[in-house]
Structure 1
Amino acid sequence: MNKHILRDSLDDASVAPEACQVISPANAERPHAGAVTARVLGTTAFRMALDTSGAAIARRKYKRVHDVCGPKTHHVIMAYNGSVQRMERRSGRSVATGTFRPGAVIIIPEGSSSRWDIPKPVDVVEFYLPHATLERVAEEADTAGPVNLLERTAHPDPVTSRLLLTAADTLEGNEALDTLFRRQLTSLLATRLLAAHSGLPTTIQPTMGGLSPKVLSRAIERLRPDSDADVSLAALASDAGLSRFHFCRAFKKSTGLSPHAWLRQHRLEEAKNMLRDTDASVISVAVALGYSSQTAFAAAFRKLTGETPSNWRRRAR
């Protein structure tokens, strides 16, 4: 599976006047919103695909923006990581000003067009969310009414901001974990946006109770490293007869952990058992547990235990 590691863009360029281009909704081959944004910012960012719907996340650094940004193919949500500065956004005759600071977010709904004036260097993490994904999460969460995101200009939202700024740190180089995490993160961010930035009076309905013992047992069997079953959220939820949103909530209520966190913790325990009770090499343990490399396994192990696998093995024996 292709993996893209999120990292800072090395290009810190200004925006050329022609960089922002209007993308016609009638165009059958509109580029991904991230590609349009790359032209707007004049930078090349490394993107990490979150799920097969086309959702993506990127980090960019640029000097300034003074131009009109045409309609995007996705909802674009930006979290700021930098010093405090004023900014301005114009849509027709409407002018919105705000203070860009840590904990603030910008939301550009799909299809909207506006002129941006940001005079100083900016470091942002961007999330590109397809409207179809937002509608899917809204349906699973039993929302009522049309689903539309509100425009936000440097709007205080430390929860969404923190989710975006820390997203890359949770990737560990394990294919099953990465895939599951990306899907959960997409749904989590979409759920947060519905709750805080859609204008719906009631967005999320509570889920009562956890999974039944039988359903929980089947889910855990799927998640075990020696299982060949599909461990995607869609497969886990379908087997439980629930939507992905309700399955995640019920699984966490039953186990205290999300499916991704449970899988990560279980593989750590498996790794400890193999390191303590067998003479298998560290790389053999990594391969057996599905990690893409010994380095990825060692990084994940150290993150959760504070030790390298080799040091932990010496201490445990």
Structure 2
Amino acid sequence: MQSDLEYSRNYVEQFKADSVSQLVTRSPQSARLLVSRLRRDTGGHGLTTLPPGDAVFSVVLQLREQKERELFLDNHCVHRGSYAERTTSVVNHLELPRANLISPFDCLIFTVPQSALNEIADEARVGRIDHLHCPPGGVLDEKVWHLGSSLLPALQRPHEVNSMYAEYVMLAAYIYFAQTFGGVRPGKERADTLAPWLKRAMDAMEAQMDTDVSLKMLAEASGLSVRHFIRAFTASTGEAPHRWMLRHRVERAKDLLTGTQATLAEVAISCGFADQSHLTRVFKTFVGVSPAVWKHMVRH
């Protein structure tokens, strides 16, 4: 079986990009969820052929305008022209897509395997999704743009990405693709919340504040599916699980900054941040100032 690294590289090698960054995580049932950012600053790439194999779809989000490009399916040109910034397009690998990349490009490519779509359909208790439909020239979809944009910091600093955040955003993106391009109707929200499981979930998160906790682990501990866990936790607390975790890590950092002689680097590691700079960025997001400034303010 391919490693995650081999799997990821398989979908980008043919693009001859100047810059490649990737994020791969797993669905609740272990299907791979992959997003890749590819950038090439010079034109004239030429024809590229996506790797064959099982049913796989590529959902492509343009981060800047691609002025000239041609798309071929089964050797027939189905689109010739530009792709505007924010345009989303979809190709089915079983249709043998080939792209003539004439202009420079900067895009996100979500690699969506049939296995991931099957999982989404099964949980929604609807028929299997056998195709994602999108016009060859693409569409402007603000939700896809928002989801893609929220992943850019993670792609720039992958060492700072925790499993909970990666699972949350990637699963949200794949579910949206299934609904928007696959025709799956959103399921009705369940009226109940975590109730008896909420404290157990919070206790587990607080006990592992310095480790990388996955949504799947928390959901299993609560006896819920990942999707229901996310909905119920958010309904109960007003925050998505990864956001709740970050806020409590910041609160723990405050306690350590005022109650111990630990350095910022030591505080960062103790609270589950990748390093001091990661702590500083997140701390400023929640508090408005850096840890050092905050510590000086509370002591004076």
TM-score class, shorter: 0.7 to 0.9
Whether 1:122 and 2:105 are equivalent positions in the alignment is yes
Deviation at 1:226, TM superposition (A): 4.6
Separation of aligned partners in 1, 2:159 and 2:97: 40
Separation of aligned partners in 2, 1:72 and 1:300: 41
SS of match in other structure, 1:45? strand
The more displaced of 219-228 and 154-163 is 219-228
Amino acid in the other structure paired with 1:47 = Q
Deviation at 1:215, TM superposition (A): 0.7
Query: Structure 1 length normalisation: TM-score?
Result: 0.78
Deviation at 1:191, TM superposition (A): 0.5
SS of match in other structure, 1:266? helix
Amino acid in the other structure paired with 1:56 = L
Deviation at 1:281, TM superposition (A): 2.4
Separation of aligned partners in 2, 1:84 and 1:194: 26
The Cα RMSD (Å) is 3.0
Matches within 5 A, 1:163-242: 163-169=147-153, 178-198=162-182, 200=183, 202-226=184-208, 231-242=213-224
SS of match in other structure, 2:162? helix
Residue 257 (structure 1) aligns with = 239
Change (3 A) 1:139 1:230: farther
The 8 Å contact of residues 103 and 156 in structure 1, kept in 2 or not, is answered as: yes
Residue 13 (structure 1) aligns with = none
The more displaced of 42-51 and 29-38 is 29-38
Amino acid in the other structure paired with 2:107 = V
Residue 289 (structure 2) aligns with = 307
Amino acid in the other structure paired with 2:150 = T
Amino acid in the other structure paired with 2:21 = F
Query: Structure 2 length normalisation: TM-score?
Result: 0.82
Amino acid in the other structure paired with 1:45 = V
Provide, for residues 53-101 of structure 1, a one-character-per-residue CA deviation record: whole Å limited to 9, x for no partner. Answer: 4332222122245425245454222211223635432224462346411
Between the two proteins, the alignment pairs up a number of residues equal to 287
Deviation at 1:131, TM superposition (A): 2.2
Whether 1:275 and 2:257 are equivalent positions in the alignment is yes
Residue 59 (structure 1) aligns with = 37
Residue 138 (structure 1) aligns with = 121
Residue 291 (structure 1) aligns with = 273
SS of match in other structure, 1:296? helix
Deviation at 1:124, TM superposition (A): 0.9
Deviation at 1:49, TM superposition (A): 2.3
Separation of aligned partners in 1, 2:225 and 2:154: 24
The 8 Å contact of residues 219 and 236 in structure 1, kept in 2 or not, is answered as: yes
Residue 45 (structure 1) aligns with = 20
Change (3 A) 1:285 1:71: closer
Change (3 A) 1:178 1:32: same
Provide, for residues 182-231 of structure 1, a one-character-per-residue CA deviation record: whole Å limited to 9, x for no partner. Answer: 11122111111011111x2x422112224243211111111114569983
The 8 Å contact of residues 268 and 276 in structure 2, kept in 1 or not, is answered as: yes
Change (3 A) 1:119 1:230: closer
Change (3 A) 1:288 1:68: closer
Amino acid in the other structure paired with 1:183 = E
Matches within 5 A, 1:7-156: 32=7, 34-43=9-18, 45-51=20-26, 53-62=31-40, 63-67=43-47, 69-73=49-53, 74-83=56-65, 85=67, 87-92=69-74, 93=76, 95-97=78-80, 99-153=82-136, 154-156=138-140
Change (3 A) 1:54 1:124: same
Amino acid in the other structure paired with 1:124 = C
Separation of aligned partners in 1, 2:213 and 2:226: 12
Provide, for residues 30-67 of structure 1, a one-character-per-residue CA deviation record: whole Å limited to 9, x for no partner. Answer: 96364343223455513222336433222212224542
Deviation at 1:105, TM superposition (A): 1.0
Residue 246 (structure 1) aligns with = 228
The 8 Å contact of residues 49 and 55 in structure 1, kept in 2 or not, is answered as: yes
Amino acid in the other structure paired with 2:144 = T
Segments of 4+ moved more than 6 angstroms: 28-31, 171-175, 227-230
Change (3 A) 1:145 1:316: same
